[in-house]
Amino acid sequence: MNYQNSLAFAQQQDQLDPLQHYKSRFYAPQLKGQDAIYFCGNSLGLQPKSAQAYLDHEMQNWADFAVEGHFKGDTPWFSYHELLAAATARVVGANPAEVVVMNQLTVNLHLMLVSFYRPQGKRYKIITEGGAFPSDQYALESQTRFHGYNPDDAIIELFPREGEHTLRTEDIIQSINSHADELALVMMGGINYYTGQLFDMAAITAAGHAAGALVGFDLAHAAGNVVMQLHQWEVDFAVWCSYKYLNSGPGGTSGVFVHERHGNNPDIPRFAGWWGHDASVRFQMKKGFIPMPGAAGWQLSNAQILPMAVHRASLELFDEAGIANLRQKSEKLTGFLEFLIDDLQVNKNTLEVITPRDPAARGCQLSMLVKQNARLLFDKLTEAGIIVDFREPNVIRVAPTPLYNTFEEVFRFAEVLRQCLTTR
């Protein structure tokens, strides 16, 4: 795409955008009495205006039916999670039986590690990206300790080459190959939260399997952001949250993917719960856990209906827009942002984008490494009505999301950034 650094170009792109009307279906946060430019969907997505109606519907069912709401009404709670399966599967590239919405991300990660981190003999090591989100780090550390290993020995962290900010796929695969005899699990983020790098999940999964290991991903920053084909790639498991790009509210419910070859194996070790038990005999209250087929067999407790109602509203928007269409717009928006930052001609000793320049190797986030007065720059952007995200020690993450951000907003952000850098 041939970008131009002008307001007229940005407005023209918005007029041509077939997804432009989705912006009006979200509430905009306010700063100084005006709509803020919100580039923080990678941390918390905006509220869909339809969410209240979905939530109110279940509140009314609660009022009307009380406990009978589990089986009465048009959305009985007993099977509510099933209402989310097809749309969820389309977001991550799965079969509906391979996904389930439940719990929260770190809880689900631990449940998956119980089943898929099964160290035996000399195969006990885990490969992960260095600087992974803390939840992943803590989960892996505690799981290895639970099995009696020292995390410093059992966890192999991969870091970029000296002078580089992101991992090379060939280095990841080389590390998998070199540790093939001792590797139990490859567990990485689909997108690194700090740099915004999108990992080649298909290649990593193939390499992990060739080495005799299982492969899983934390998709917190990938779900609702990029196109994925988890079933086709033969990923063993994945987890994600719903409050970032999936716009389902603070602390929103989480999603799980379990490939059908595992989901249809009732003998896989797992921590069992009542709601994962065979639904046809669940209320007989008998001993002896019989898992539901598919990912649903990992459920523990009955569904979180109110968070799931909000999530259902958001998934409806994704189904309408289509993840492939959103990704196409996302690449254009992020490309425009990158073009405008480049056009500032800022010295790398002042500011450097550390996210990959290849659109296929990133989502909609660009991470700016600010070499001088990073917090001051962040505060100035906020003061100017732009909500972005600051990560210690000196990275500002900017995420124009395709459901509710515009080309004009990207242009205005770049203009404000220019002014802030000039006046610091």
Q: Is the model's pLDDT at 146 over the cut of 90? A: yes
Mean pLDDT across 260-284? 95
Q: Is the model's pLDDT at 415 over the cut of 90? A: yes
Whole-prediction pTM? 0.96
d(CA 264, CA 20): 41
Contact 197, 355 (CB under 8 A): yes
- For the chain, the distance separating the N- and C-terminal CA atoms, rounded to the nearest angstrom, is 33
Q: How many CB atoms lie within 10 A of CB 167?
A: 22
Taking only the tens place, the pLDDT of each residue in 260-269 is: 999 999 999 9
d(CA 366, CA 268): 40
Contact 273, 292 (CB under 8 A): no
Mapped onto helix, strand or coil, the DSSP state of residue 31 is: strand
Taking only the tens place, the pLDDT of each residue in 37-93 is: 999 999 999 999 999 999 999 999 999 999 999 999 999 999 999 999 999 999 999
Name the percent of the chain lying above pLDDT 70: 100
Q: What is the pLDDT of residue 348?
A: 83
Local confidence band at 385 (pLDDT 50, 70, 90 cut-offs) = very high
Contact 167, 158 (CB under 8 A): yes
Taking only the tens place, the pLDDT of each residue in 211-231 is: 999 999 999 999 999 999 999
Residue/partner pairs of 119-123 with CB below 8 Å, 24 or more apart: 119/147, 119/149, 119/154, 119/184, 120/184, 122/181, 122/182, 123/181, 123/182, 123/183, 123/184, 123/212, 123/213
Residues 6 or more apart whose Cβ sits within 8 Å of residue 123: 181, 182, 183, 184, 212, 213
* Count of CA atoms in the C-beta half-sphere (13 A) of 16: 10
Contact 303, 80 (CB under 8 A): yes
Q: What is the pLDDT of residue 217?
A: 98
Phi-psi domain of 158 (left: phi exceeds 0; alpha: psi -120 through 50; beta: other): beta
Mean pLDDT across 339-356? 93
Q: Is the model's pLDDT at 137 over the cut of 70? A: yes
d(CA 231, CA 85): 14
Mean pLDDT across 4-25? 98
Taking only the tens place, the pLDDT of each residue in 113-132 is: 999 999 999 999 999 999 99
What's the count of helices (H) and strands (E) in the chain, helices before strands?
14, 15
Q: What is the pLDDT of residue 201?
A: 98
DSSP 167-208: --HHHHHHHHHHTGGGEEEEEEESB-TTT-BBP-HHHHHHHH
Local confidence band at 423 (pLDDT 50, 70, 90 cut-offs) = confident
Q: What is the pLDDT of residue 424?
A: 59
Mean pLDDT across 240-253? 97
Q: What is the pLDDT of residue 349?
A: 83
Q: Is the model's pLDDT at 412 over the cut of 80? A: yes
Domains, the chain, in order of start with CATH, read 7-42+323-423 (3.90.1150.10), 54-319 (3.40.640.10)
| Average pLDDT value over all residues in the chain | 96
Mean pLDDT across 230-253? 97
Cis status of the peptide bond prior to 393, with omega within 30 of 0: yes
Q: What's the sign of the alpha-carbon dihedral 352, 356, 359, 362?
A: negative
User: Greater confidence, 366 or 32?
Assistant: 366
